[in-house]
């Protein structure tokens, strides 16, 4: 009986410590952001250089971080990347060009954000009467292919956070500590791929970027087609050294063949690492996207002499006349009596519009 009493007291102490710690953490989360920490966040993160740890989709849709979870993620993120491509990739260096402290989130824009910002002179129009021109070109806001954003979202309001705490919360997307692009990229890949890249070894299942980090850019590329599948063979090395033939389909390594100096041939086709997600867009995804013919006209601008309703890029086939029913051409007889006026006797006059 005596031995149970100390154990019971120890358990109660641990339980009380856990409850006190949870209450203290909740209390810290309820404290709003102080003015001192607000100024520190603005001073540190504005124009700060970071390395990217994950892929950002191209377009106006960025990433969201809440409670350590990123969205979109998984299959949704891979589908957007396959359709539109990435704006930045792991290992890329980016600059935080804007940071906004809002009610329940911190908004970070990288590389100018997803939309190109207007210049001050694009708000000015110069002209006479109806005709007006914008200096420096038309005011046409377009997407920024290298820019994107991430929102760090909290519950209800912004808690009191230090710079180091915000960096820890942004760790899934930003790397503030790496000294080089390779170091930042290695921190974003699985451990098996990281070890292979450090040993300059290529695994079946890697993507193109991993191969480049592991072996460098290939000295030779051969593009071939096997039945309906197009592939590339990346060749590294020349005799009398070992020669590696790395076959890439889409964005994935499907075959690694090594020719040894002694004539031994080693072929690996079984998948050695699974990165998840589609490497390229599927046929159904491609068909769902309407493809317009290339044109030099601006969006919404109609073609010359185009019928109404064709200003959005739609094309109307020209009407072909039947030669049997087409009216005969009319010829006008030229008169030799009409002579051009004498410019010396009747000089032209020029009128200026008021």
- The residue segments making up the domain with residue 148 are 29-129+141-184
Interacting residues of 148 by C-beta distance below 8 A, sequence separation 6+: 56, 57, 58, 62, 63, 87, 88, 109, 110, 111, 113, 114
- Mark whether 74 and 159 lie in a shared domain: yes
pLDDT at residue 78, rounded to an integer: 86
- Mark whether 113 and 251 lie in a shared domain: no
pLDDT at residue 303, rounded to an integer: 65
Over 70: is that where the pLDDT of 297 sits?
A: no
- Mark whether 113 and 218 lie in a shared domain: no
Between helix 191-198 and helix 208-215 the angle, nearest 10°, is: 40
Nearest-angstrom CA–CA distance, 145 and 59? 7
pTM of the model: 0.57
Does a structural domain hold residue 40?
yes
Over 70: is that where the pLDDT of 273 sits?
A: yes
Does a structural domain hold residue 288?
no
Does a structural domain hold residue 105?
yes
CATH of the domain at 264: 3.30.1450
- Mark whether 154 and 224 lie in a shared domain: no
List the one residue out of 82, 106, 86, 105 whose CA is nearest residue 96: 106
- Mark whether 80 and 173 lie in a shared domain: yes
Band the pLDDT of 285: cuts 50, 70, 90.
very low
- Mark whether 69 and 156 lie in a shared domain: yes
- Mark whether 76 and 175 lie in a shared domain: yes
Band the pLDDT of 313: cuts 50, 70, 90.
very low
- Mark whether 253 and 169 lie in a shared domain: no
Phi and psi at 8, nearest 5°, equal: -65, -40
Weakest-pLDDT range from 56-70, 181-195, 298-312 = 298-312
pLDDT at residue 20, rounded to an integer: 43
The number of beta carbons lying within 10 Å of the beta carbon of residue 189 is 22
Band the pLDDT of 150: cuts 50, 70, 90.
very high
- Mark whether 240 and 166 lie in a shared domain: no
Over 70: is that where the pLDDT of 288 sits?
A: no
Does a structural domain hold residue 294?
no
Band the pLDDT of 134: cuts 50, 70, 90.
low
- Mark whether 33 and 117 lie in a shared domain: yes
Nearest-angstrom CA–CA distance, 33 and 152? 14
Average pLDDT of the residues of the chain: 77
Does a structural domain hold residue 311?
no
Number of domains within the chain:
2
pLDDT digits (tens, 9 = 90+) for 208-233: 999 999 999 998 999 998 888 899 99
Does a structural domain hold residue 192?
no
What is the rounded average pLDDT of the residues 35-57? 91
Residue 279, SS3? Answer: coil
Could you tell me what percentage of the chain is helix, strand and coil, using 3-state DSSP and rounding each to the nearest 5? 25, 25, 50
pLDDT at residue 280, rounded to an integer: 45
Does a structural domain hold residue 33?
yes
Of 151, 184, 217, which one is at a domain's C-terminal end? 184
Cβ atoms of 159 and 33 within 8 Å: the answer is yes
Over 70: is that where the pLDDT of 335 sits?
A: no
pLDDT at residue 131, rounded to an integer: 64
What is the rounded average pLDDT of the residues 27-39? 79
pLDDT at residue 328, rounded to an integer: 64
- Mark whether 125 and 153 lie in a shared domain: yes
Of 272, 292, 327, which one is at a domain's C-terminal end? 272
Does a structural domain hold residue 135?
no
pLDDT digits (tens, 9 = 90+) for 165-181: 999 999 999 999 888 88
pLDDT digits (tens, 9 = 90+) for 50-60: 999 999 988 88
The number of beta carbons lying within 10 Å of the beta carbon of residue 243 is 15
- Mark whether 177 and 53 lie in a shared domain: yes
Of 249, 272, 295, which one is at a domain's C-terminal end? 272
Q: What percent of the chain has pLDDT over 70?
A: 62
């Amino acid at each position: 009986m005596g031995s149970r009493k100390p154990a019971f007291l120890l358990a109660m102490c641990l339980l009380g410590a856990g409850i006190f710690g949870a209450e203290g953490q909740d209390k810290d989360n309820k404290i709003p952001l102080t003015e001192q920490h607000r100024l520190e966040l603005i001073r540190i993160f504005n124009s700060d250089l970071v390395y990217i740890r994950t892929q950002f989709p191209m377009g106006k849709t960025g990433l969201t971080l809440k409670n350590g979870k990123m969205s979109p993620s998984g299959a949704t993120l891979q589908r957007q990347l396959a359709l539109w491509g990435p704006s930045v990739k792991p290992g890329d260096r980016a600059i935080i060009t804007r940071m906004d402290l809002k009610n329940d989130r911190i908004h970070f824009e990288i590389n100018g954000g997803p939309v190109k910002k207007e210049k001050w002179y694009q708000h000015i129009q110069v002209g006479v009467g109806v005709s007006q021109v914008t200096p420096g070109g038309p005011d046409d806001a377009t997407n920024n292919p290298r820019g994107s954003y991430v929102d760090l979202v909290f519950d209800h309001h912004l808690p009191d956070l230090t710079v180091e705490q915000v960096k820890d919360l942004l760790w899934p997307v930003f790397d503030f500590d790496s000294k080089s692009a390779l170091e930042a990229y290695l921190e974003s890949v699985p451990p098996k791929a990281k070890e292979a890249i450090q040993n300059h070894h290529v695994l079946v299942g890697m993507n193109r970027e991993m191969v480049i980090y592991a072996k460098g850019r290939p000295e030779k590329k051969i593009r071939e087609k096997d039945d309906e599948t197009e592939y590339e063979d990346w060749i590294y090395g020349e005799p009398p050294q070992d020669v590696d033939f790395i076959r890439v389909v889409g964005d994935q390594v499907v075959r690694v063949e090594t020719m040894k100096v002694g004539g031994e041939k080693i072929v690996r086709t079984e998948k050695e690492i699974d990165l998840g997600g589609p490497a390229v867009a599927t046929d159904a995804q491609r068909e769902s996207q309407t493809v317009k013919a290339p044109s030099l006209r601006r969006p919404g601008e109609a073609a010359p002499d185009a019928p109404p309703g064709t200003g959005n890029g739609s094309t109307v086939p020209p009407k072909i006349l039947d030669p049997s029913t087409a009216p005969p051409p009319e010829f006008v007889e030229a008169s030799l009596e009409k002579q051009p006026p004498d410019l010396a006797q009747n000089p032209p006059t020029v009128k200026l519009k008021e």
